[in-house]
Amino acid sequence: MIWQTTRHAIDLARPRVMGIVNVTPDSFADGGAHATATQALAHCERLVREGADILDIGGESSRPGALPVSVADELARVLPVLRGALTLGVPVSVDTCKPEVMRAALALGADIVNDILALQAPGALDAVASHPTCGVCLMHMRGVPGSMQGDVRYGDVVAEVTAFLAARAKALRDRAVDARRIVLDPGIGFGKLAGHNLELLRRQRELLAPGYPLLVGWSRKSTLGVLTGKAVGDRLAASIAAALAAVDNGAAIVRVHDVAETVDALEVWRAARDNDASTDAVHEPPPYP
């Protein structure tokens, strides 16, 4: 399966790792760590060295309770980093729900629009549909980050998320957007309790029914804290376990903070699952006595 984007046709025959680049002062996991363009671009370069297949640049926090930022502020945060990231040889995604930011990013050459509102904002659908080739990720969330945890009642969370995402994909297909450009995200932690998130993971293959690849983001999420009792900064092992579980249940892309560790874990998962005899390293002796 291929994910068609502006500059790259991403082969999803093997799981892909999307590295998170938050150009924000208030993201839940790393707020402020990469808040300047120089810091964020250095982080992009590091993630590519660590094996990131895709970079995802965001200039507005989507943590629970986050306040919105202006279009001008988001553009000022994102565009300088995007310009540099586009030279690094990997697909670059822009995490935004603002059509003005989408258009500006696509005009610079961004490969993917990653929208937590699934293109529901006025003008967002037009911004993506009018572009000839960009990729798009449509995510499920109720409300907006500031209020999304206020309505977390579901009859069947998997059925409701699947139906919503299928409808949003159809809205794009009705605008003649090629299906190969579309990826879906169930929105782990967005307007959902821990039990909902775990149900989505256990029954994740049902989310494949609409026929699109899945992008899943478990990295450092609060449900992992509920399960382990660990603070955000101590959820590396849990994040890797969740990423592997997501891939094992059919996810094509995992969105993560800890790229190097996730890449290594996926290499072991692939070797155990596929017994890839073409990998010379598995037939070589270890580099120690």
Sign of CA dihedral 120, 121, 125, 131: negative
Span between the terminal Cα atoms of the chain, in Å: 42
Six token digits for residue 232: 């955000």
Strand, helix or coil for residue 8? coil
DSSP letter string over 179-192?
A: GGGEEEE--TTSS-
Enclosing H/E stretch for 54: strand 54-58
Pick from 147, 217, 228: nearest CA to 186: 217
- Cα-trace Rg, the chain: 18
Reply yes or no on whether 192 is catalytic.
Answer: no
CA dist 110 and 218 (Å) reads 24
CA dist 193 and 230 (Å) reads 17
Six token digits for residue 203: 């029954």
Strand, helix or coil for residue 271? helix
Residues in CB range of 274: below 8 A, 6 or more apart: none
* Residue 86, CA atoms < 13 Å, CB-side half-sphere: 17
Pick the catalytic residue from 221, 230, 270, 273. Answer: 221
DSSP letter string over 174-220?
A: TTT--GGGEEEE--TTSS--HHHHHHHHHTGGGGGTTS--BEE--TT
CA dist 25 and 9 (Å) reads 33
Reply yes or no on whether 255 is catalytic.
Answer: yes
Active site amino acids: 221, 255
